[in-house]
Amino acid sequence: MKKYTFTEKKDTRSGFGAGMQVLGQTNPNVVALCADLVGSLKLDAFIKENPERFIQCGISEANMIGMAAGLTIGGKIPFATTFANFATSRVYDQVRQSVAYSHKNVKICASHAGLTLGEDGATHQVLEDLGMMKMLPGMTVINPCDYNQTKAATIAIAEYDGPVYLRFGRPVIPVFTDPDQKFEIGKAWMVNEGTDVSIFATGHLVWEAIQAGEMLEAEGINAEIINIHTIKPLDEKAILASVKKTGCAVSAEEHQVAGGLGDSIAQVLIQKHLAPLEYVGVKDTFGESGTPAQLMEKYGLSAKAIVEAAKRAISRKK
Partner 1 sequence: MTELQSIASQVRRDILRMVHGCQSGHPGGSLGCADLLVALYFQQMKINNRKGKGGYLSFNMDGKGEDLFYLSNGHISPVFYSVLARRGYFDVTELATFRKLNSRLQGHPTTHEHLPGIRIASGSLGQGLSVAIGSALSKKLNGDKTLVYCLMGDGEQQEGQVWEAVQFAPNNNVDNLVAFVDVNGQQIDGSTKKVNDNRDLGAKYKAFGWRVLHVDGNNMDELTTLLRKIKRLVGKGQPIAVMMKTEMGQGVDFMMHSHKWHGVAPNDAQLEQALSQLEETLGDY
Ligand X SMILES: Cc1ncc(C[n+]2csc(CCOP(=O)(O)OP(=O)(O)O)c2C)c(N)n1
Any idea what the Cα angle at residue 145 is, between residues 271 and 248, rounded to 5°? 30
**Helical (H) or strand (E) element with 107:** strand 107-111
Near ligand X in 6-35, by CB under 6 A: 35
The DSSP code for 51 is G
In 3-state terms, the chain is what percent helix, strand and coil (to 5)?
40, 20, 40
Q: How far is the CB of 265 from partner 1 (least distance, A)?
A: 30
Contact call for residue 274 and partner 1 (CB under 8 A)? no
The residue among 36 and 184 lying less far from ligand X, judged by its C-beta, is 36
Q: What is the CA 279 to chain-centroid distance, rounded?
A: 16
The DSSP code for 163 is -
* Catalytic hit among 8, 49, 52, 61: 61
Binding mask of the shown chain, residues 64 to 93, with x at each position contacting ligand X by CB under 6 A: ----------------------x---x---
140 with 153: CB under 8 angstroms?
Answer: no
The residue among 76 and 124 lying less far from partner 1, judged by its C-beta, is 124
- Of 26, 28, 59, 89, the residue at the interface with ligand X (CB under 6 A) is 59
The residue among 119 and 161 lying less far from partner 1, judged by its C-beta, is 119
CA–CA separation, 236 vs 243, rounded Å? Answer: 11
Q: How far is the CB of 133 from partner 1 (least distance, A)?
A: 18
Contacts of 215 (CB under 8 A, 6+ apart): 303, 304, 307
- Of 1, 6, 27, 36, the residue at the interface with ligand X (CB under 6 A) is 36
**What residues are annotated to the active site?**
61
List interacting residues with partner 1 (CB under 8 A): 34, 36-40, 56-60, 62-63, 85-86, 90, 118-124, 286, 288-291, 294-295, 298
